[in-house]
Amino acid sequence: PRWWGVKPKLDQITWNVGDPELQAKAYVNDELDAVDLQATTYRAARGTGTIQRAAGVEWSQVTLNGGRGPLRDPKVRQAVAHAIDRGPIASRAAKALGAPAAPLGSLLLVPGQKGYRDSSAPIAYAPDQAEKLLGEAGYVKGADGMFAKDGEPLTLTLPVPEGTPTNKVRATAVAGDLRKVGIAVTLRPVPAATFFDDVVIPLDFDLVTFVRRASPFPLTAAKPLFFPLDSAQNYTGLATPRLGTGFDTVLGTLDDELRLKRVAKLDEWLFDDASVIPLAVTPVVVGVRKGLVNYGAAQFEQPDWTSVGFVKKASKRD
Task: Please choose, from the candidates 46, 38, 43, the residue with its C-alpha nearest in 3D space to the C-alpha of residue 18.
Answer: 38
Tell me phi and psi for residue 94, to 5 degrees: -75, -40
- Whether residue 166 contacts residue 31, with contact meaning beta carbons closer than 8 Å, is answered with no
How does pLDDT run across 94-134, given as a tens digit for each residue? 888 988 887 899 999 999 999 999 999 999 999 999 999 99
Q: What is the number of other CB atoms lying within 10 angstroms of the CB of residue 149?
A: 15
Least confident among 176-180, 189-193, 204-208, 309-313: 309-313
- Supply the DSSP string of 54-68, one letter for each residue: EEEEEEEEEEE-TTS
What is the separation of C-alpha 315 from the centre of its chain, rounded to a whole number of angstroms? 48
Using DSSP, state whether 184 is helix, strand or coil. Answer: strand
- Whether residue 284 contacts residue 297, with contact meaning beta carbons closer than 8 Å, is answered with yes
> What's the pLDDT band for 318 if we cut at 50, 70, 90?
very low
Q: How far apart are CA 33 and CA 224, in angstroms?
A: 39
77 vs 61, 123, 211, 225, 298, CA distance in Å? 14, 10, 20, 17, 35
Instruction: State the DSSP H helix or E strand holding residue 220, giving kind and residue range, or none if neither.
Output: helix 218-226
How does pLDDT run across 164-198, given as a tens digit for each residue? 999 999 999 999 999 999 999 999 999 999 999 99
pTM attached to this predicted model: 0.91
- What's at 168, amino acid-wise? K
Tell the burial category of 279 from Cβ atoms under 10 Å away from its Cβ (0-12, 13-18, 19+): buried
Question: What is the share, in percent, of the chain residues with pLDDT greater than 70?
Answer: 98
- What's at 256, amino acid-wise? D
Q: How far apart are CA 90 and CA 97, in angstroms?
A: 11
> What's the pLDDT band for 314 if we cut at 50, 70, 90?
low
